[in-house]
């Protein structure tokens, strides 16, 4: 769990680097008809989002993952070091986020080549000196991605790094099977698990010494070793909720005391939802 300042410590993330296309509707869908919208395309993917927010908040950040040949430069522009193999077919995945007028979003995901990362393609040098390794829950869902994640966890822990996991998707946890996902999570043995209310309701209390319940407009709950901290969200104007949980994770993982970490995460989430898209404006 966050305890000491991590601003100068390297935060590594492992997961997806995708193209994020945001479609914000001016009014609700009418099936079979036209709807005015505002669109934006940026680099995305949960692990990429966390890395970009961590770098924006002042940390050193490194993204680890398999990617298409056209994706790295856009993420590097946020100050993130991008490492990992480029897929032979170069196919970058895409997430289309449809944002309704109230700011709520629905995501349509194509993970591209990201789940093809193997343990043999994972270099220990990428984890050297890291203070924390943050895994996207998507990396636990498919093999060989899960095996590569386990290899990275071993490498990170060898250097004393904290390991965190974001649950990522209630629907995909259900598709894999809750028991199987819990078993995979137990193999990772994270120090902290982050998830929203739907993910927690699907999985139950995570097998970890610490966990964070992200509650959107109602703030967050943080539990560690029997200690419970409940905090309200920071005031903001909601434009788009896409990526708010990733911004929260980045702020939270930068450390200091438990309260400071949570407040830092809530501040980052409030900043995120006030703009269109998951990446820092």
Q: Quick one: tokens of 82?
A: 């991008």
Q: How far apart are CA 52 and CA 82, in angstroms?
A: 11
Active site residues: 246
- Domain membership of residue 280 (yes or no) is no
- Domain membership of residue 24 (yes or no) is yes
Q: Quick one: which of 48, 24, 52, 22 has its CA closest to 36? A: 24
CA distances from 189 to 45, 112, 144, 182 (A): 23, 27, 18, 10
- Domain membership of residue 168 (yes or no) is yes
- pLDDT average, residue stretch 139-155: 97
90 with 68: CB under 8 angstroms?
yes
The number of folded domains in the chain is: 1
- pLDDT average, residue stretch 186-204: 95
Q: Which residues pair with 42 in a beta bridge?
A: 20
Residue-wise pLDDT tens digits, 92-124: 788 787 888 877 778 788 878 889 999 999 999
Give me the residue label for tokens 């997961």.
15
Query: Residue 274 in 3-state DSSP?
Result: coil
- Domain membership of residue 2 (yes or no) is no
User: pTM of the prediction?
Assistant: 0.90
Q: Which residues pair with 25 in a beta bridge?
A: 37
Q: Which residues pair with 192 in a beta bridge?
A: 164, 210
Residue-wise pLDDT tens digits, 22-44: 888 888 877 777 888 888 788 88
Residue-wise pLDDT tens digits, 196-229: 999 999 998 888 999 999 999 999 999 987 789 9
Q: Is 118 left (phi over 0), alpha (psi -120 to 50) or beta?
A: beta
The CATH number that applies at residue 19 is: 3.40.1190.20
- Domain membership of residue 154 (yes or no) is yes
**Average pLDDT of every residue of the chain:** 89
Q: How far apart are CA 111 and CA 62, in angstroms?
A: 20
- Domain membership of residue 100 (yes or no) is yes
Domain ranges, residue 96: 10-273
pLDDT of residue 4: 39
Q: Quick one: which of 10, 79, 12 has its CA closest to 47? A: 12
pLDDT of residue 71: 67
- Domain membership of residue 4 (yes or no) is no
Angle at 175 between CA 173 and CA 181, to 5 degrees: 40
- Domain membership of residue 213 (yes or no) is yes
Give me the residue label for tokens 């788009």.
240
pLDDT of residue 237: 93
Pairing of strands 10-14, 60-64: parallel
Residues present in the chain in total: 281
59-74 burial, b for 16+ CB within 10 Å, e for fewer?
bbbbbbbbbbeebbeb
Q: Which residues pair with 97 in a beta bridge?
A: 22, 107
């Amino acid at each position: 769990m966050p305890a000491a300042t991590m601003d100068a410590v390297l935060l590594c993330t492992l997961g997806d680097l995708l193209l994020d296309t945001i479609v914000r509707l001016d009014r609700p869908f009418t099936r079979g008809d036209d709807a005015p919208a505002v669109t934006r395309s940026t680099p995305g993917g949960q692990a990429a989002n966390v890395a970009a927010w961590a770098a924006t908040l002042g940390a050193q950040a490194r993204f680890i993952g398999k990617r298409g040949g056209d994706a790295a430069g856009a993420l590097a522009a946020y100050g993130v070091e991008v490492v990992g193999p480029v897929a032979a077919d170069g196919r970058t995945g895409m997430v289309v986020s449809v944002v309704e007028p109230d700011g709520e979003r629905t995501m349509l995901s194509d993970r591209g080549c990201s789940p093809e990362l193997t343990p043999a393609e994972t270099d220990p040098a990428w984890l050297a000196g890291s203070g924390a390794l943050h895994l996207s829950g998507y990396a636990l869902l498919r093999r060989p991605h899960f095996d590569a994640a386990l290899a990275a966890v071993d490498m990170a822990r060898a250097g004393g790094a904290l390991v965190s996991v974001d649950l990522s998707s209630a629907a995909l946890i259900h598709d894999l099977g809750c028991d199987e996902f819990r078993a995979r999570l137990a193999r990772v043995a994270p120090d902290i698990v982050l998830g929203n209310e739907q993910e927690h309701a699907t999985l139950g209390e995570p097998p970890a010494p610490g966990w964070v319940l992200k509650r959107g407009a109602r703030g967050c709950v943080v539990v560690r070793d029997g200690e419970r901290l409940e905090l309200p969200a920071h005031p903001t104007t909601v434009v788009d909720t896409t990526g708010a949980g990733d911004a929260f994770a980045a702020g939270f993982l930068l450390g200091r005391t438990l309260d400071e970490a949570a407040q830092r995460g809530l501040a980052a989430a409030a900043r995120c939802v006030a703009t269109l898209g998951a990446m820092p404006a």
